[in-house]
Each structure stands twice: as structure tokens, then as C-alpha cells.
Amino acid sequence: MDGKASIKNKERQLMASVYYEGEHSLNFIPEGESGDWKNTWEEWGLAPTSRPVISLPEPVSNYVEIPGTSGSHDLTDQFGYPAYGMRQGSIEFMMVPEFSSVASKNSKWNYRYANLANYFHGRKLLMYLDDDTNYYYSGRWSVSWSSPSGKGELSRVMLNYTLDPWKYVKEGWRGLVIPSGKIGRTGNYYKYTRGSNGEFIRGDQISTNKTLKEAMADSVTYMTQSPYFRVTGMSSTQQCVINYSNSDFTNTLSVSNVINTNNEITRFPSIIIRQADDNWDINIEKPTYAAFEIMFRLGRL
């Protein structure tokens, strides 16, 4: 390496290791695990080459050509709303050499690259951006190497992702509880958390006497989702019926689903709710002395 290239390389490394202080980092934790989130700068010494932006999901379009007519018939909103694919993209980072304080093989490129692969490659992780701390993303990640663009450039890695279409509100589960002894559409509105094995844990009460539509409107959730249901206090000979209708379809959709099992988390693919202002309705026919819960998630594009 000649003198000019050596000086240029040292200047780049100095800029990366001194002037960069961890701005615009990403934070990760494996899905279903608890503990501390790992920060891309603090944990691996990764500096993003530009401000990280997660790609938007592609709308799933559906155009049908009809013989003898011009153009195509747009069926994208045949269910009353557009659907979306997964978010896909990559984020490039520089690997700062001075990051490691350990003067051993632990600071070498191949060792650090292997550590990244062990944590990310093929794993399903939750992630939030330092630039957008109220929301997190869920999906699968992988690692690849990006060749430096010129002599003296820092080594680079790519974190590649395939994520759910929606970004989720942290601690963003909500639920409506229709108590035992009460038959009707209204219930008490609660915060929920979800445990590592998928159970729903009821938290603080937000308000009382809300319908599900009112609760979702208060929560400002923009997601298309299929909510979760749970019935407690029901005997083995009883059942709960959920009547769901949605007039946003070409022909008004009307379906009934039955819950026969007590205290079990249930989800029905036929019940799809987009936003609180859509033309849907849910009516619950439950045993008088059973309690009924509807849990949904807060999120947006």
C-alpha cells in the first residue's frame, strides 16, 4: 500500500470509529425470547453506510383481462382492501476495525463475520430502529458480504431481511373482555402482553363499555388482521358462536364460527378486520356465565 492510500484508509477508519457514535442503529432480539436487545453498533461495531429505511411491502394487485374489452378489470380490492406482500430488502454496514478492544482473533474479520452469521443467518428476529423506537418489525434475516468499492475501503456486510408487511406497536396488544353474566356487544378494554409460548396476559384496563369497533378506533390500528378469541367459564357441553359480517365485499359476507373449547386461544381465517371504520360487525352468542375476550394487535405500514 502506498503512502497516499495508507493515509486515506486511516482517515476513513478515523471517521468511522471517532465521528460515528452509533446513530441510526438497529436493535434485535430473537422472537419469543426475553432479555436485552442487541444494538448493531454496541454489539458488533457496525456503522450503516446510509440512514436505514425498511422497504414498504408491495401491494398485491389482481388485474383480470376480459375478452372483447379494453384494459383490465381491477380486482385488487375485491375483499374491501388491498393486500400486501412481505417487506424485502438489505441494509449495508461498514465493519469498523477499531471497535474491538480485544487484541486477539476476536477482533479479526472472519471471527466477527462468523459471529454475525451465528446470530442473524436464517433466524427470525424482532427489530426496531433507533430512528423509530415506537415500532418493531418481525421477520427473517440473513448475512452476506459486500465487497469494498475501492482500495482502502472498510469491510462491509449486508443484513438482508424478509419481514411482515406491518410494523407493530411495542406492547401493542389490546383486548376487549365481555364479562360473565353479561350478554351484549360491549365490554371492558385492556392492554395485553403476549408470553413467549403465545399466551395472552391481561394488563391494565384502559376503559369500560366499549364495542370492539370503538376499541379499535381508539387504538388507531391500521392493520388488516384476524383477531384472537378466548372463552372462559364454559362447560364441555356448551359452545360460543361468533357471527361476523362484512359488507365491503362484493356480496355481503356473513359467516358463523363456533368455539367449543374452554380457555383456548382461537383464530378464524374467515374473520378479517381491516380498520375500525370499515363496514364489518361481530356479534357474540356465548353462554351467560362465560367470559369472552377478543385480542388484536396495533400496527401500520
Give Cα 100 to chain centroid, integer Å: 32
pTM of the predicted structure, to 2 decimals: 0.82
The 10 Å CB-count burial string (b at 16+, else e) for 16-33 is bbeebeeebbbbbbeeee
Residue range 101-121: mean pLDDT, rounded: 75
- Residue 39 has a pLDDT of 95
Rounded to whole angstroms, the Cα distance separating 297 from 293 reads 13
The string of pLDDT tens digits covering residues 227-277 is: 999 999 999 899 999 999 887 665 667 899 999 999 999 999 889 887 655
Percentage of residues of the chain with pLDDT beyond 70: 82
- Residue 98 has a pLDDT of 62
- Residue 252 has a pLDDT of 67
Residue 180 CB coordination number (10 Å): 15
Rounded to whole angstroms, the Cα distance separating 26 from 38 reads 8
Backbone angles phi, psi at 73, to 5 degrees: -90, 125
In the predicted structure, residue 102 carries a pLDDT above the cut 50: no
